[in-house]
Amino acid sequence: MTNMNAPEEKSAGILTGKYIGQRVHRKEDPRLLTGHGQFVDDVSVPGQLHVAFTRSPVARASIVSISSDYAREVPGVHAIYTQQDLADFNVDMISFFLASPDVKTTPLADGRVAYVGEPVVMVIADSRAIAEDAASLVEVEYAEETPLITIDDARHGAPVHPGREDNIAAQMGEEEIDEDLEALLQAAPHLVTHKVVHQRISQSPMETRGVLADPEGPKELTLYITCQSPHMVERWTSLALGKPDMAIRVIAKDVGGGFGLKNHPWKEEVAVILAALKFRRPLKWIEDRYENLIGANQAREQEMTLQVALDNDGKLLASHGDYSCNNGAFPQLSECNIAVHMFVWGAYKMPAYGFLTRGWYTNTVGYAAYRGPWAMESLVRETALDVAARRLGIDPIEIRRKNLVTLSEQPTESCMQIPLEDVTPAECLEKLLGYFDVDAFRREQAEAREQGRYLGLGIAAYIEPTGSAGAIATMTGELAQVRIEPTGKVTATMSTHSQGHGTQTTMAQIFADRLGVSYEDVSVFEGDSSRGGFSPGAAGSRQGVIAGGAAILAADKLAEKVRTLAAHLLQVEAAAIAIDAGQISVAGNPDKSISLGELANIAYGEPDRLPPGMESGLEAQHRYQPPPMTFASAANACVVEVDRDTGFVKIQRWISSEDCGTPLNPAVVEGQVSGGLAQAIGMVLLEEVGFDERGNPTAATYKDYMMPAISDIPTFEFVHANTPSQSVGGMRGVGEGGAIIGAPTLVNAIADALAPFGEVEVNLPLTPAKLLSVMEGRDLTPPKVVAPVAVEPVAPAPVAEPVPAADATPAGPVVIDGDWKMILSTPMGPQEMQGHFETSGDNLSGYLSSPEGQMEFTGSVVNGNNLVFDLKVTKPMKITLKYNLLIDGDKISGKCKMGIFGSAKLTGERL
Amino acid sequence: MSNHKIELTINGRQYSGDVEARTSLADFLRDDAGFTGVHLGCEHGVCGACTITVDGRAVRSCLMLAVQANGATVVTAEGLAAEDGTLHPVQQVMMEEHALQCGFCTPGVVMTLASLTGEGKQCSQAQIEGAMSGHICRCTGYQGIRRSAARLAYDAMGDSAQQGGDA
């Protein structure tokens, strides 16, 4: 018996077949094209009522009073709930990683509001219109305070969450640049300091959020919800509600886009679920676009300063990154985006890198994922490389050639100790250059400039971790279950979930090829947590890689059974059996054949005819555990013209050279890349969630939040530069890449076009006004207008020192021995653990235990109230954790240095 | 709120309704008549997902009141395919060109394309693309929609997408 949890057999190469690798039509399309998709608002159940929310019109206040008297009088209103009514559920608003939140997070506002749009009151009524009417009649009195809106506000202002010492939601890395690194940076012939400011983005799936919660007695709950994985929503809801004894079924047949917003329920969806359980009626809430743009969690809003040291030839010497991210008030994860630093130099030969990374609480709607959440790494690196190339007078292509890790240099590891075995950005770049004539473009560009026209070429390269599994609780393998029905047709249920990904199509292509049946005879079902098994669905560009592998292995198991049974029935060797188009034949013996349907009838209905010991039926399943990470690579090029008079950017050409391993369906692959690139174009040129100084959103409709239209997006050209991955089938993930590589490609093209005027500040979006200011040398900084403030500003609270100084004198005698409950703030969210300490003189021993296991340490030192000890861990990678803790009475606090992850804060108390 | 009786033809069949004056045509079609293929993406006339045809012309049903459709002939995405399930030429071309992913904006795109193309219509590729700028698609980057527009135009090029080489 092999170890079923170990990564399995390696891929043989790029797969192709009658269906795999072909541009077959999608299974999903006939229903979607004829208006017969089933999105959440298309589902109704008998007795359902509708919900609308009264939302906060202010960004920061305490709630003085709530009056629902007028609202209650509206005919058709059934109930009006505030947080008080939902408090007994004690819901735990856990993150995607299943960690409890760092700050108290409730479905409805609990005495205070912390962003404009925060749900405060919910109305249950006969119709959505009546619920909205009544919600507008709820009267809430607020005692308004001065809100913190920007990252800069958060650095200096009074804590958004009362009781916290500052606004740092999460922090990793070192606050001071390491001396050795600083020396390398300062001694280098060239030091480029490059800053990128990324605006806030609304994920904007075309289907807004929505849920229909249908409680079926006290022990069963069915949720229809627009989501990225019904299994993830089922797991999340069960844990968040603390109801392991409730049978929860989550159904989401069709979902109108997710992009990171719909990983799991958040405030409004949870409020609806709780209210349905309390009111004991099915409740439906469908978000409108205004609510989606102000109240649904948002993404990006980051700034990063990258220092890059280079020698005179453009070779990289050292680098430092300082990153900050606006988490809003109630983020889905207290986030400092460690992945930005993990991957910023992932595919480059960078000798030394250090960083500081922080997430900040503000009085804005919370942070959630958006396609390629760590994309800043490629944006800041690739744009910095172009700045460096211009400064050193080197071609931007040459600076990449000089520094990218090539295939012949692997295996190796990155400066952040990421193992690299088969990444191909350098090879993608060369294939791109074989397709696009750079010299011809440079001639055209020079001629155009003489005519006063500004053309630019942008090039960027990157790698992306995809198909990750095994290191994080929710990032699991994927399950395929497949059966040949007694009719001879093939039915599969999958752990996958499509929000446009076309997994019903790509998985059917695999089953058809591997089982020897026609594509038309395969049906794939997903979108229901009662079918298939757990996976996080569309998260981290994983489905093609992992579920594809599962489908191959499950189909191969089933095909093997078919061959064994057919050989038995036809009395030939199994090796002679061939299956094609649903017909089983025997090599060299045309008289012997049987259809798959006939065989299936025997397998299910005539068990006496099966070989001894064979299980009846034709069914198989496989949960595929892939290698921990599979890298995708790409290089992109685009050509733009920036209009000298208007500042408008016209994208003339765009070429994507992408290594996605085996392309299961090239049309689906190109669709994923194209959609990501379009979102990147939106980020660079158009989209922006803004706030005024009081925290009011300035883009609350699609008239203000500018989504890319067909007229903004060029025709993309594709160079498939595929090399097989090491996972079964050889696929590499392709879901997020376009959104990551697109932004630096376009920014570089614009910067190249405007190079004669000087550098373009990378402050997204690059609007015509900003680009005109570069060409005209104007200062666009608006005059500082101080908004009238209606209430007394709150004086910033003094910010306490986060870690007590090591020489702090304890108040009484120090008692170290015993058990301690401790919380470590890690990149994955807070981690609870229990510590056991024993002292003997200056010697300290003991263990730390968590749900993952117990780790002992010995031979460590204790100095007064100061505990210093090391723990070596191997998962998710080999690191030595260096703890430095202080005990003050029954409290414990301090730091844990986690190797390349920097330092994390620890707090706790005696048990 | 006053209620009004309306009668209209939807996808070839007669319907009557009793609607509040404020009820949008989109809400009537979805909630009363059961045509849930009419999708509401913004409810303020920008995204185009709710597009239907009213007396042959493409209309955003979120911006029209149900009472305004009294006596009108309405077609939704549900009404285009033949009774035997054969897809409308617009639907067939969009499937062949992979012009959709999540499918939420799709019914509106289908209806605009259907209103501009087909028998007796003389829309150029540029005109169709111009009309498509009234539809927001978050998934596809419009590549398949552009290819569909090219094939459905009277000046159709015949080719589908410009493809790079398989290196």
Interchain proximity B42–A702, CB inside 8 Å: yes
Q: Tell me how far apart the alpha carbons of residues A628 and B73 are, in angstroms, rounded to a whole number.
A: 57
Structural domain includes residue B159: no
Interchain proximity A25–B167, CB inside 8 Å: no
Looking at residue A895, what is its pLDDT?
84
Residues 6+ apart with CB under 8 A from B56: B73, B115
Same domain? For A562 and A540 the reply is yes
Residue A787 above 80 pLDDT? no
Structural domain includes residue B30: yes
Tokens read off for A14: 């790029």
Whether the CB of B129 is below 8 Å from some CB of chain A: the reply is yes
For residues A860-878, give the mean pLDDT: 78
Interchain proximity A718–B163, CB inside 8 Å: yes
Strand partners, A832: A823
Whether the CB of B107 is below 8 Å from some CB of chain A: the reply is yes
Same domain? For B8 and B75 the reply is yes
Q: Tell me how far apart the alpha carbons of residues B94 and B146 are, in angstroms, rounded to a whole number.
A: 10
Whether the CB of B98 is below 8 Å from some CB of chain A: the reply is yes
3-state SS, A187-226, equals HCCEEEEEEEEEEEECCCCCCCCEEEEEECCCCEEEEEEC
Looking at residue A812, what is its pLDDT?
57
Largest Cα–Cα separation, chain B: 66
CATH number at residue A867: 2.40.128.120
Same domain? For B61 and B98 the reply is no
Whether the CB of A655 is below 8 Å from some CB of chain B: the reply is yes
Structural domain includes residue A313: yes
Residue A794 above 70 pLDDT? no
Structural domain includes residue B160: no
For the beta sheet containing A77-81, the strands, ordered from the edge strand earlier in sequence to the opposite edge, are A77-81, A119-125, A49-55, A283-286, A210-215, A220-225, A247-251
The complex's ipTM works out to 0.95
Interchain proximity B142–A713, CB inside 8 Å: yes
- B13-20 and A454-466: which strand pairing? unpaired
Same domain? For B57 and B34 the reply is yes
Q: Tell me how far apart the alpha carbons of residues A678 and A739 are, in angstroms, rounded to a whole number.
A: 8
Looking at residue A10, what is its pLDDT?
52
Instruction: Measure CA A697 to chain center.
Output: 24
Rg over CA atoms, chain A: 29
Contacts of A125 in chain B (CB under 8 A): none
Q: Tell me how far apart the alpha carbons of residues B60 and A709 are, in angstroms, rounded to a whole number.
A: 17
Q: Quick one: pLDDT band at residue A789, thresholds 50, 70, 90?
A: very low
Cβ atoms A465, A631 nearer than 8 A: yes
Same domain? For A289 and A248 the reply is yes
Q: Between the CA of residue A480 and those of A529, A530, A615, A620, what are the distances in Å? A: 14, 14, 19, 8
Final residue belonging to a domain, choices B79, B107, B122: B79
Structural domain includes residue B166: no
Q: Tell me how far apart the alpha carbons of residues A909 and A835 are, in angstroms, rounded to a whole number.
A: 10
State which residues form the domain around B49: 3-79
Looking at residue A234, what is its pLDDT?
97
Structural domain includes residue B19: yes
Q: Which of A205, A435, A678 sits opposite B164 (nearest CB)?
A: A435
For residues A842-869, give the mean pLDDT: 83
Same domain? For A311 and A456 the reply is yes
Cβ atoms A285, A316 nearer than 8 A: no
Same domain? For A247 and A334 the reply is no
Q: Quick one: pLDDT band at residue A807, thresholds 50, 70, 90?
A: very low
Structural domain includes residue B133: yes
Nearest CA in chain B to A680: B141
Contacts of A31 in chain B (CB under 8 A): 103
Q: Tell me how far apart the alpha carbons of residues A361 and A570 are, in angstroms, rounded to a whole number.
A: 70
Whether the CB of B41 is below 8 Å from some CB of chain A: the reply is yes
The mean pLDDT of chain B is: 92
Whether the CB of A686 is below 8 Å from some CB of chain B: the reply is no
Interchain proximity B46–A702, CB inside 8 Å: yes
Q: Report the half-sphere exposure of A253 (CA within 13 A, side-chain side).
A: 11
Interchain proximity B94–A502, CB inside 8 Å: no
Q: Where are the beta strands (DSSP E) in A643-732?
A: 649-659, 716-720
Cβ atoms B117, B123 nearer than 8 A: yes
Nearest CA in chain A to B38: A35
Residue A799 above 70 pLDDT? no
The mean pLDDT of chain A is: 93
pLDDT tens-digit profile of A193-230?
999 999 999 999 999 999 999 999 999 999 999 999 99
Distance from CA of B27 to the nearest CA of A (A): 10
Q: By C-alpha distance, which of A528, A494, A530 is closest to A511?
A: A494
* Interior angle at CA A217, CA A211 and CA A222, nearest 5: 30
Structural domain includes residue B164: no
Q: Which residue is it, tokens 């280098």?
A: A188
Looking at residue B163, what is its pLDDT?
40
Interchain proximity A435–B165, CB inside 8 Å: yes
Rg over CA atoms, chain B: 17
Tokens read off for A648: 């408008």
Q: Tell me how far apart the alpha carbons of residues A868 and A264 are, in angstroms, rounded to a whole number.
A: 39
Strand partners, B79: none
Final residue belonging to a domain, choices A579, A595, A624: A624
Contacts of A434 in chain B (CB under 8 A): 167
Same domain? For A539 and A583 the reply is yes
Q: Looking at chain B from residue 46 to 75, which residues have their Cβ under 8 Å from any Cβ of chain A?
A: 46-47, 49
Residue A871 above 60 pLDDT? yes
Structural domain includes residue A803: no
Q: Which residue is it, tokens 């405007």?
A: A754
For residues A871-892, give the mean pLDDT: 79
Structural domain includes residue A199: no
Looking at residue A27, what is its pLDDT?
98
Contacts of B23 in chain A (CB under 8 A): 129
Q: What per-residue string of b and e applies to A211-244 under the rule 16 or more CB within 10 Å gives b?
A: bbbbbeeeeebbbbbbbbbbbbbbbbbbbbbebe
Structural domain includes residue A593: yes
Strand partners, A490: A484, A522
Interchain proximity B135–A710, CB inside 8 Å: yes
Domains of chain A: total: 4
Distance from CA of B71 to the nearest CA of A (A): 23
Same domain? For A750 and A883 the reply is no
Same domain? For B72 and B103 the reply is no
Interchain proximity B37–A36, CB inside 8 Å: yes
Interchain proximity B142–A710, CB inside 8 Å: yes
Q: For residue A804, what is the DSSP state?
A: -
Structural domain includes residue A489: yes
Q: Tell me how far apart the alpha carbons of residues A657 and A670 are, in angstroms, rounded to a whole number.
A: 11
CATH number at residue B127: 1.10.150.120
Residues 6+ apart with CB under 8 A from A584: A562, A566, A570, A577, A578, A593, A594, A595, A596, A599
Contacts of A716 in chain B (CB under 8 A): 141, 143
Residue A883 above 50 pLDDT? yes
Residue A840 exposed, middle or buried by CB count within 10 Å (0-12, 13-18, 19+): exposed
Contacts of B145 in chain A (CB under 8 A): 710
Residue A809 above 70 pLDDT? no
Final residue belonging to a domain, choices B79, B99, B134: B79
Residue A880 exposed, middle or buried by CB count within 10 Å (0-12, 13-18, 19+): exposed
CATH number at residue A504: 3.30.365.10
Q: Tell me how far apart the alpha carbons of residues A361 and A161 are, in angstroms, rounded to a whole number.
A: 8
Contacts of A713 in chain B (CB under 8 A): 141-143
Structural domain includes residue A668: yes
Structural domain includes residue A406: yes
Same domain? For B144 and B124 the reply is yes
Interchain proximity B39–A23, CB inside 8 Å: no
Interchain proximity A37–B104, CB inside 8 Å: yes
Cβ atoms A86, A108 nearer than 8 A: yes
Within 10 A of A59 (CB to CB), how many other CB atoms are there?
30
Residue B165 above 70 pLDDT? no
Which residue did the predictor score with more confidence, B91 or B121? B91
Q: Which of A257, A259, A721 sits opposite B167 (nearest CB)?
A: A721
Looking at residue A368, what is its pLDDT?
96
Q: Report the half-sphere exposure of A789 (CA within 13 A, side-chain side).
A: 16
Same domain? For B59 and B94 the reply is no
Range with lowest mean pLDDT among A375-379, A676-680, A785-789, B141-145: A785-789
Best A25, A34, A657 residue to mutate vs chain B (most B CBs within 10 Å): A34
Interchain proximity A710–B107, CB inside 8 Å: no
Whether the CB of B32 is below 8 Å from some CB of chain A: the reply is no
pLDDT tens-digit profile of B38-70?
999 999 999 999 999 999 999 999 999 999 999
Q: Tell me how far apart the alpha carbons of residues A485 and A497 are, in angstroms, rounded to a whole number.
A: 23
Same domain? For A566 and A662 the reply is no
Residue A845 above 50 pLDDT? yes
3-state SS, A252-283, equals CCCCCCCCCCCCCCCHHHHHHHHHHHHHCCCE
Contacts of B30 in chain A (CB under 8 A): 41
Distance from CA of A31 to the nearest CA of B (A): 9
Final residue belonging to a domain, choices A624, A641, A663: A624
Same domain? For A288 and A306 the reply is no
Final residue belonging to a domain, choices B79, B110, B129: B79
CATH number at residue B24: 3.10.20.30
Distance from CA of A498 to the nearest CA of B (A): 8
Q: Tell me how far apart the alpha carbons of residues A149 and A745 are, in angstroms, rounded to a whole number.
A: 30
Strand partners, A691: A697
Length of chain B: 167
Same domain? For B75 and B100 the reply is no
State which residues form the domain around A537: 29-37+476-624
pLDDT tens-digit profile of A697-706?
999 999 999 9
Q: By C-alpha distance, which of A209, A283, A290 is closest to A47?
A: A283
Whether the CB of A470 is below 8 Å from some CB of chain B: the reply is no
Q: Looking at chain A from residue 784 to 823, which residues have their Cβ under 8 Å from any Cβ of chain B?
A: none
Strand partners, A579: A584
Same domain? For A766 and A704 the reply is yes
Same domain? For A759 and A873 the reply is no
Same domain? For A313 and A445 the reply is yes
Nearest CA in chain B to A128: B27
For residues A103-121, give the mean pLDDT: 98
Q: Quick one: pLDDT band at residue A11, thresholds 50, 70, 90?
A: low
pLDDT tens-digit profile of A305-348?
999 999 999 999 999 999 999 999 999 988 899 999 999 999 99
Nearest CA in chain B to A289: B42
Give rounded-to-5 percent helix, strand, coil for chain A: 25, 30, 45
Same domain? For A863 and A761 the reply is no
Q: Which of B96, B110, B136 sits opposite A709 (nearest CB)?
A: B136
pLDDT tens-digit profile of A453-491?
999 999 999 999 999 998 889 999 999 999 999 999 999
- A649-659 and A716-720: which strand pairing? parallel
Interchain proximity A35–B42, CB inside 8 Å: no
Q: What per-residue string of b and e applies to A169-187 under the rule 16 or more CB within 10 Å gives b?
A: bbbbbeeebeeebeebbee
Whether the CB of A719 is below 8 Å from some CB of chain B: the reply is yes
Final residue belonging to a domain, choices A578, A609, A624: A624
Q: Which residue is it, tokens 């029905």?
A: A485
Domains of chain B: total: 2
Same domain? For B7 and B73 the reply is yes
Whether the CB of B17 is below 8 Å from some CB of chain A: the reply is no
End-to-end Cα separation, chain A, in angstroms: 44
Interchain proximity B133–A710, CB inside 8 Å: yes
Tokens read off for A249: 């079924």
Q: Which residue is it, tokens 């093609």?
A: A544
Q: What percent of chain A has pLDDT over 90?
A: 82
Length of chain A: 911
Structural domain includes residue B161: no
Range with lowest mean pLDDT among A81-85, A872-876, A887-891: A872-876
**Which stretch of DSSP H or E encloses residue A427?**
helix A425-435
Whether the CB of A471 is below 8 Å from some CB of chain B: the reply is no
Q: Quick one: pLDDT band at residue A786, thresholds 50, 70, 90?
A: low
Q: Which of A25, A204, A679 sits opposite B95 (nearest CB)?
A: A25
Distance from CA of B93 to the nearest CA of A (A): 11
Cβ atoms A900, A344 nearer than 8 A: no
Residue A8 above 70 pLDDT? no
Interchain proximity B143–A674, CB inside 8 Å: yes
Q: Which of B96, B129, B133 sits opposite A25 (nearest CB)?
A: B96
Helix axes A666-681, A737-753, angle to 10 degrees: 50
Helix axes A737-753, A376-392, angle to 10 degrees: 30
Q: Tell me how far apart the alpha carbons of residues B124 and B115 are, in angstroms, rounded to a whole number.
A: 13
Structural domain includes residue A170: no
Whether the CB of A126 is below 8 Å from some CB of chain B: the reply is no
